[in-house]
Amino acid sequence: METLLDRSRFDRLIGYLAHDPSNLPLLQDASHEAMQLGLWREAHELLDRTLALSPTDAPSRYRMSVALMMEHDPIASLEYSQALIDEGVDAPAVLYQHARALILAGRHAEAEPLFERLAPHASELPEFALLHIRALHGAGKLDEAAALAATMEADPIAQGMLSLIRIDNDDLEAGAALAREVLAHDPDNVDALLASATAAVAMEDAEAALPQFERVAALHADSGRAWMGIALARLSAGDIAGGREAFEKTVRLLPGHLGSWNALAWVQMMQNDLDAAQETLEAAMRQDRNFGETHGTLAVLLASRGQWDEARHETDIALRLQPESFAGRFAQTLIIEHRGRPQLSQQMLRQIMENFHAPAGGNMIDVVRRYAARRKPALSSAVPAAHSSQKETR
């Protein structure tokens, strides 16, 4: 009944505006009512009209920031909240809205200090503690995030977040166990689904991981982490084309996640689509030219094309930026083999693979052997074949 009354008031305001479309107080009231009802498209349209009449109206600019965030446009939302902050507006609601939009934009490290500043007002701000955990987690402050989540033992959302934090802190067993507990009572808990699926894919159980990642994507189609997991699970199951498709979605949703750009390039090289791999690595470079792994992957691509001088140059950059870069060291073995020292190259490659720790046990050689046992794979003899067929390297 309350919702009907609220909608009735909104409809009356819209009726009044039909006769007086430039009435600023009516527009302000109508946009507020639309937001109370969750009518974000209508709120956005009304706020556009309001700000056309009164561009400096601070409450309407704040509301526009909220509406844009709810329409999944955090970048546009941040333009409004940042402008208010730059003008000296420091109302807790505005700062909190800015922090929420920063989290949605993936800029957790910028959001996290705002929570410290807003702590005295925490009781006035909805879901403050949960978003603070999210900001700490995204900013890489895993121990602090875990400690805060642990204080909220009765909150299933916080416990789902804690399960994922434990996974990201390399405690697969504890994270997976907590995720199971949470999912037993809350089967659509997104963080617990991600935690459980991430642990499963790390243990090379694509069959268990894939439906959980897919459930997250069904609940939140714009979850880059879900699509990344789908990509990894599909690849683990031998679905190369499906893995590529999922990684293409991942990089659109998480353009700053350089590992996904590199993984996509490797998949494209496995498919012998070297031009696409080149474009992917160029896009990764536009995000960050100082990530060693990207230079290493580019070196592998250049070696695949027989551009050995360029490959050596990129290998040098990769290992200078990131001495343990997998792609950089792999490219190094290709160059050594090209120079006529295949035995040394094979020894170095084996050492690289033996130094890789696999969560499911053993090293990368063991991972490849387990993959070969499950499938009739492209990588069935990856240790010796990696050099004879440079297009199937990862």
At 389 the pLDDT is: 37
Task: List, as one string, the DSSP characters of 73-104.
Answer: -HHHHHHHHHHHHHTT---HHHHHHHHHHHHH
Domains 150-216 and 242-248+257-394 share a fold: yes
Amino acid identity of 271?
Q
Instruction: Please state which of the four CATH numbers 1.25.40.10, 1.10.10.10, 3.40.50.300, 1.20.1090.10 is assigned to the domain occupying 242-248+257-394.
Output: 1.25.40.10
Of the chain, the end-to-end C-alpha distance in Å amounts to: 59
At 384 the pLDDT is: 39
Reported as a pLDDT band with limits 50, 70 and 90, residue 367 is confident
At 390 the pLDDT is: 38
Tell me how far apart the alpha carbons of residues 378 and 385 are, in angstroms, rounded to a whole number: 10
Reported as a pLDDT band with limits 50, 70 and 90, residue 382 is very low
What are the C-alpha distances in Å from 91 to residues 60, 224, 261?
14, 32, 39
- Annotation: CATH topology of 150-216: 1.25.40
Reported as a pLDDT band with limits 50, 70 and 90, residue 386 is very low
Tell me how far apart the alpha carbons of residues 202 and 168 are, in angstroms, rounded to a whole number: 11
Reported as a pLDDT band with limits 50, 70 and 90, residue 204 is very high
At 75-87, the pLDDT tens digits run 999 999 999 999 9
Q: Which of 62-71, 78-87, 308-317, 366-375 comes out lowest in average pLDDT?
A: 366-375
Cα angle 359, 137, 326 (rounded to 5 degrees) comes to: 40
- Domain spans of the chain, in order of start: 150-216, 242-248+257-394
| CA dihedral sign of residues 78, 81, 84, 85 | negative
Tell me how far apart the alpha carbons of residues 164 and 126 are, in angstroms, rounded to a whole number: 22
At 324-366, the pLDDT tens digits run 999 999 999 999 999 999 999 999 999 999 988 888 889 888 8
At 249-276, the pLDDT tens digits run 999 999 989 999 999 999 999 999 999 9
| Exposed / middle / buried, residue 308 (Cβ in 10 Å: 0-12, 13-18, 19+) | middle
Mean per-residue pLDDT, 289-294: 97
At 5 the pLDDT is: 52
